[in-house]
A and B are shown apart, each in its own frame.
Chain A
Amino acid sequence: MAEPTAGQKPYDPLAFSSQELRDLYWFMNLNRLLEERLTVLYRQGQIVGGLYRSLGQEATSVGTGYATLKQDLVGPMIRNLGVFMVRGVSPQDIMAQYMAKASGPTMGRDVNTHFGDLSKGIVITTSMLGALLEVMVGTALAIKLQKRPDQVAFTWIGDGGQTNGYFHEGMNLAAVKKLPFVCIIENNGYSYSTPNHRETPISQFVLKARAYGCPGIRFDGNDVLEALWATRRARAMCQRGEGPVIMEAVTFRIRGHAEHDDAGYVPRELVERWKQQDPLARYEAQLDTLPNAPTRAERDEMRAQIQGLLTECVDKVLPMPQPRGESAMGGVYAGEKRPAVPPM
């Protein structure tokens, strides 16, 4: 079981611009506060399906996502809400998705973050663990074949997901073909109720890189600056033709697999230890020491802005209709942008 990482940091915290520091603060809080709103909606019975939270993992999503560039192509996991929003998906769209509203990105046909948006470089999120990685390796192969040296493909996979054969076939191909591909293994200690030590005898998932002869980078997944710094390094390696790169984010799932799961199988002390490593609290403390960081008053102001924005979203999305049954056949085939029968 991974323990919180500590000690000397590999990066220079003074190397980030004040805009970057502000953006990271904004998105980490947006990620957390949006999930808090979604949790309330879940309890009210407004969410269709499960709610897969990323409490305690926001720094990984936001930091890695922020390191991707506009032209990059990404395939995030269900829990990577931060990646979606850093790349321009609005909280309103996320809410509409979770409530299966006809106005959402999949027009109510699918739920949670199971959607893509190529205009934002988001290829897709799929439910079948490992399958997404193969889609993103295919994307990286396309990048290479089309000779686009400025593009890199990214995907995220869990400590559990990487045991799947698809992961291996995809990584093997990426490594043999030296593709510009970054795979971020988000090690949050558990795969549903299965702890790390029952998944593998190895202590670090970054060791997976040894099977592919590719670079591996392990980082503190609860430190947003380190996540950003490490992912930028991985991206640069890919651009130099040293890819693919396997990264391991060391983090922890504070909530259950989803909100329906009380996670009684996780030792309480372990959760308590990781709560001390809350990525938002740690970032607040870090910002207090950085000269170009937003002040506390500015941060309070940002959080208030986010809350206002989220209240507007809830008020707007709640009364929206879900799709009509007759519209189900619309938008299935290429060329049909919207359903033949209006969804609402």
Chain B
Amino acid sequence: MARSALAKVGRGGGGAVASAVGMETLRALHGRMVLVRTAEERLMARLRSGGRWTGTLHPSRGQEAVSVATVAHLTDEDWASPTPRELGVHLCRGMPLAEVFAHFAGAVNGGALGSVVSRTTPSLGSTASNLAVGAGIAMAFKLRRQPRVAMGFFGDGVMGTGTAHEVFNLSAAHGLPYVLVCNNNGMAFSQPVAETSPVVELGSRGEAYGLPWKSVDGTDVEAVWLAAREAVQRARDGGGATLLECRTPRLGGFTTAELMEETIPRDAVDVLPRLEARLVELGVARTELEAAAARARQQVDEAVAHTEALPVVHSAALRRRVYAD
């Protein structure tokens, strides 16, 4: 799909096929992806060095486009339900970096990943459950006749769960304004996808539910952005839910606690250098990309410094954010 969509736009300068995404958007997506990667790299280093940094990160290295290029189509009124591997969803939806870090550093202002402000539901530990939460939100939008969209994320390992089946069926039967984003990184913990799915193209399972579906290369930012645009538009126009599979490599391992280095593919395409090569091909100067990286480093430095200056949470504060008050 991405190829033909690109072809229609014609050729830009230097013989490169112009981006159907548009240069401004592509630059913005790049900036966010660099920020997500830089933040995760720092988190990774901090978490593995111990001290007050005690949380567990599910790195999205190599998979950042799935978090960044999808929610780019959501408005402030929409909601997203990411897994722990979509830190970028929280960030792109406006959760401050310092708050994200506080979550991992036991700081007094730390809490769940996800907030009412960013309109992201907590990245829940129990896999598949966030998908059902997102379906509930989509159901609410539908019942209230609001032109809003919910976007739920899940891994290849969740494809075979009963929750996914019930969510797919409900979303299709009720025509929910829901975009179901499957981040197929080929692995569920230590299990390769061939051991959890009887079909290779996970998106095609949408056919069993009457869900429109698409399967795209998740290392192709433009393809992810275009497919997500179509799905969000369908949902907003009352056309119901879409199943969108993004195929990615798990370049950052499983979690900081269990890296599983032996499962990291050696020769996989890395989405970030790929995007940068594309931007250069489209005429963006290398210095501009370097400037984006420097900006991200600075933001991360500031957020880390801010977080580490905060006291560690004490037991009396544990009830915070538990009850409605």
Contacts and interface: CB of A to CB of B under 8 A. Distances in A.
Interface of A: 163-169, 172-173, 175-176, 198-202, 207-214
Interface of B: 159-166, 169, 172-173, 175, 195-199, 204-205, 207-210
Contact of A213 (B164, B196, B198): B198
A120 B162 CA distance: 31
A168 B160 contact: yes
Contacts of B172: 200-202
B208 A209 contact: yes
Contacts of A175: 198
Nearest to B164: A168
A104 B173 CA distance: 42
Contacts of A176: 160, 195-198
A166 B197 CA distance: 16
Nearest to B200: A213
B154 to A, nearest CB: 14
A199 B169 CA distance: 8
A165 B158 CA distance: 12
Given A201-B173, A210-B208, 12 more contacts: A163-B166, A164-B165, A165-B165, A168-B164, A168-B166, A173-B160, A176-B196, A200-B173, A202-B209, A212-B199, A212-B208, A214-B198
Contacts of A166: 162
13 contacts: A164-B165, A164-B166, A167-B162, A168-B165, A172-B159, A172-B198, A176-B196, A201-B210, A202-B210, A209-B208, A210-B205, A212-B198, A212-B208
Contacts of B207: 207, 210-211
A11 B199 CA distance: 30
A202 B207 CA distance: 8
* Ranked 9 nearest A-B pairs via Cβ: A165-B162, A168-B165, A175-B198, A211-B208, A201-B210, A172-B160, A213-B199, A202-B210, A211-B205
B161 A168 contact: yes
A169 B161 contact: yes
Nearest to B160: A172
Q: Secondary structure at chain A's binding surface: helix, strand, loop or mixed? A: helix
A164 B198 contact: no
B162 A168 contact: yes
Q: Most chain-A CB neighbours within 10 Å: which of B161, B172, B199, B210?
A: B199
A209 B198 CA distance: 11
A200 B211 CA distance: 10
Given A208-B208, A211-B207, A212-B198, A200 B169 contact: yes
Nearest to A203: B210
Contacts of B163: 165
Contacts of A168: 160-162, 164-166
Contacts of B175: 201
A200 B206 CA distance: 12
Contacts of B204: 210
Given A176-B198, A200-B173, A169 B160 contact: yes
Contacts of B205: 210-211
A288 B208 CA distance: 40
Nearest to A168: B165
Contact of A202 (B160, B197, B208): B208
Nearest to A205: B208
A207 to B, nearest CB: 6
Contacts of A199: 169, 173
Contacts of A200: 169, 172-173, 209-210
A164 B162 contact: yes
B201 to A, nearest CB: 10
Nearest to B166: A165
Nearest to B211: A201
A163 B166 CA distance: 6
Contacts of B166: 163-165, 168
Contacts of A165: 161-163, 165-166
A80 to B, nearest CB: 23
B195 A167 contact: no
Contacts of A209: 208
A210 B195 CA distance: 17
A165 B165 CA distance: 6
Contacts of A201: 172-173, 175, 209-210
A210 B209 CA distance: 9
A198 B78 CA distance: 26
Contacts of A208: 208
A210 B211 CA distance: 12
Contacts of B199: 210-213
B158 to A, nearest CB: 11
A307 B93 CA distance: 72
Contacts of B173: 198-201
Contacts of A198: 173
Nearest to A200: B173
A130 to B, nearest CB: 8
A203 to B, nearest CB: 8
Contacts of B165: 163-165, 167-169
Nearest to B162: A165
A167 B205 CA distance: 15
A326 to B, nearest CB: 41
A128 to B, nearest CB: 13
Contacts of B198: 172, 175-176, 212-214
B170 to A, nearest CB: 8
Contacts of B210: 200-202, 207
Nearest to B173: A200
A246 to B, nearest CB: 10
Contacts of B196: 172, 176
A165 B131 CA distance: 14
